[in-house]
Each structure stands twice: as structure tokens, then as C-alpha cells.
Amino acid sequence: MIQVSQLQKTYMSGVRRKPTNALVHVSLHVECGEIFGIIGPNGAGKSTLLKSLLSLVRPNSGTIKLNGFFPSDLRCRQSLGYLPENPCLYDNLSVNDHLIFIARTANLKNPLAQQRIPEVLAMVGLDHVRHKQIRTFSKGMVQRAALACALFTQPEILILDEPMSGLDPLGRKMVTDIIRAYNDQGNTVLFCSHVLTDVERICDRIAIMDRGQLALTITPQELLDITPDVRGESPLETLFVRTVGAGGQQ
């Protein structure tokens, strides 16, 4: 379960240290076993919110609890898997060695790690290149390798920032199937994406974020009920343009 209450984050930018609000009193509740998607324009605060959950960014005020623990608690960190928007892996290592490194940092015993490595690499379609250096991988392959790292310790909560970035249609289908299979085991998924069709198809609930605020939260069924059919546009695309456009005109 993810609980966020009145989260506020302000950055001081420029020579004159002008305050910029990245998060404005954001409150969010994600149930255990839910797939929750966040969409929004660039600069809406999506990545800042995810990094706050991971204790990579320290909010100015507000509270966060993940499965009942604060983000700084080691018990909380052990239950999380994270895929950043721009994965930074040790590209001189093979993906196999990279996962061994993760196993050691997570105190995962070697027999269990050796069993888990081929499982997770097969899951992301990289088992056949497990001993190749990551520097030889395409962008899409790096993205899938980073997803393998996020899934490796079998976390209870999976946080994904633009998981479809750099993937071709087959790669997107694979990641979608992985998210669903992971969720079917009772785990929680929170992710941000610009690919509205994927969000609309796999999420239990969707939030639209704009200028540091959660503008609205909706289920796919509610989306169909309130959004008229517009030829050539998905219901989520129609609602997104309407919501963000209205916010920009205020």
C-alpha cells in the first residue's frame, strides 16, 4: 500500500533563487495489489513524486508511507523495485554480472541468486545475451535489463518511471505482460508513462498530474462513462487534453 499525504516540494532555481513548486499538496492512496498509472505533461512533477517515494528527493512537507513504513526505513527499501526514467547501469558488466552485483548488495544468498538470474532474464527476453556486456545493448535492451534489475529481488511494490521508453511494439507488449503477471501475484505497481494507450489498457486507476498537482483520479470504467467517443482519439487522450488544457488556461 502507498499512502501520500499533502506532499510539498519546492526547488529554488536561477540566480535570484526563485521558488518553483514541483509538488503542491499531493495526496495519493494506492491499494495493495493495484496497478496505478500517473500521466501528465513534461514538468508536471511525476518523476519528483516517484523519487520522493524512494527517498531520492526530500519533500519540504507532507508524509509518505509504503506498506506502513517511511521511505527511509530499511524494511521499506527492501520491499521496493525501481526502474528510473533513464537507467544507468554498469555497462562494462554483463547483465548476468550486474544481477550478481545486485544480489550481493541485497544480501541474497548465492544459490537463490543463481536460480533467480535465468528466471528474470527469461522474463524480459534477455537470457540469450546474459553474458554480453551491457555497452553492446540497444536502448530497448538496456531498458529491459534495468527492468530485470527492478524485478530481481521480487519486491512487493514496483515503481516504474516511463517503463515503455525506447521499446518497440514487441517490447512494449512484453513489459505490459510482465506488469500484469507481477500484479497477478498480489503485488502493487505504480508507474508514470507518456504512452496513454498502455496506461488506459492495464491500469486499475489513473491519475492526471499537472503543474505539481493531481488534477483528477479515475478508473477505466469511469473514463468510458464520462468521455464521449471521439474518432481517432482514445477516451484517456480526450480527457487528458481537456484536463491539462483547462489547467493551462487558468
Torsion of CA 104, 107, 108, 113, to 10 degrees: 0
Res 159: pLDDT: 96
Res 62: pLDDT: 96
* CA–CA separation, 135 and 93 (whole Å): 8
Res 230: pLDDT: 57
Res 237: pLDDT: 86
By three-state DSSP, how is residue 182 classified?
helix
Inter-helix orientation angle 139-151/110-123, to 10°: 140
176's grid cell: 505490459
CATH code for the part of the protein at 2-247: 3.40.50.300
* CA–CA separation, 197 and 203 (whole Å): 10
Give the number of other CB atoms < 10 A from CB of residue 162. Answer: 19
What are the average pLDDT values for consecutive 10-residue runs of the chain, which has 250 residues?
96 84 95 96 93 94 94 86 92 94 87 91 94 94 94 94 88 91 95 88 94 92 74 79 68
Res 250: pLDDT: 39
Res 229: pLDDT: 59
DSSP annotation of 137: S
Q: What is the sign of the dihedral through the CA atoms of 223, 226, 228 and 233?
A: negative
Strand ranges (E), the chain: 2-13, 18-30, 35-39, 61-66, 80-83, 157-161, 188-192, 205-210, 213-218
* CA–CA separation, 126 and 120 (whole Å): 9
Closest CA to 3 of 225, 191, 190, 231: 190
Domain boundaries, the chain: 2-247
Indicate the pTM of the whole model.
0.90
Query: First and final CA of the chain: distance in angstroms?
Result: 34
